[in-house]
Amino acid sequence: MSATGSALKRQEHITPFICDDANGRALFFTLDHLQSMMSIASPYELAVDYTQTMMGFALLNRHPQHIGMIGLGGGSLAKFCYKHFPESKISVAEINPHVIALRQKFAIPDDDHRFEVLQVDGSDFVRTSKGTMDILLVDGFDHIGQSPQLCTHRFYTDCYQALSDRGLMVVNLDETNGFYKTIFTRIDSIFNGHVVAIQANDHGNVVAFAAKGRNIQAENIRNRMDRFYSELNQW
């Protein structure tokens, strides 16, 4: 597909579909690309490994005032943060209206005084949110892969500016993407080297933790992550 064709296809807002089985409820755009998984018995649990890694932000900030998210999917991170960070405002940007339309199927809470889902491009979301977010979770994938508008130098610069003075951006990246090194280098440059990459699984998911205005120690996060996984199950 040409670059123009690819961009056009993304603007069509592909309709996702749901599959239920013994493992729970899954959200797909295509059968070979799982977007989200939910345990029907325990809908607020994190059923996909990389989402548990992304929650590692709590090792660095357990009491964020404002959590921003790009990419709703099945709402795993949104629901988990809504339940376990009751004092935090949570704003979720999702560009695809068909994904938002399935929110009740995945037990995503209704909007209220501290939780909202916005139908908006993630790049526009951060561009208009300067200095407001303590945590920014970026998980912007569609039926083709990582959305190109969420990988640019401009986008990550806007993410940096959207964060509060000591804010933290957490990004789900695809190590199998041919542009992975370029994307990571952009993040590393914009965040002045204050970036840690954590391998989330054997499928290519790498989670980047990028801190604004402070250094973070890679080994400190990696050494605490295994224990943190077991602690998450007790939340």
Separation of alpha carbons 12 and 225, rounded Å: 38
CB 131, CB 102: distance < 8 Å: no
Separation of alpha carbons 191 and 61, rounded Å: 18
**Catalytic residue (choose from 134, 139, 142, 158):** 139
Tell me, yes or no, if 139 is annotated catalytic.
yes
Which residues are annotated as catalytic? 139
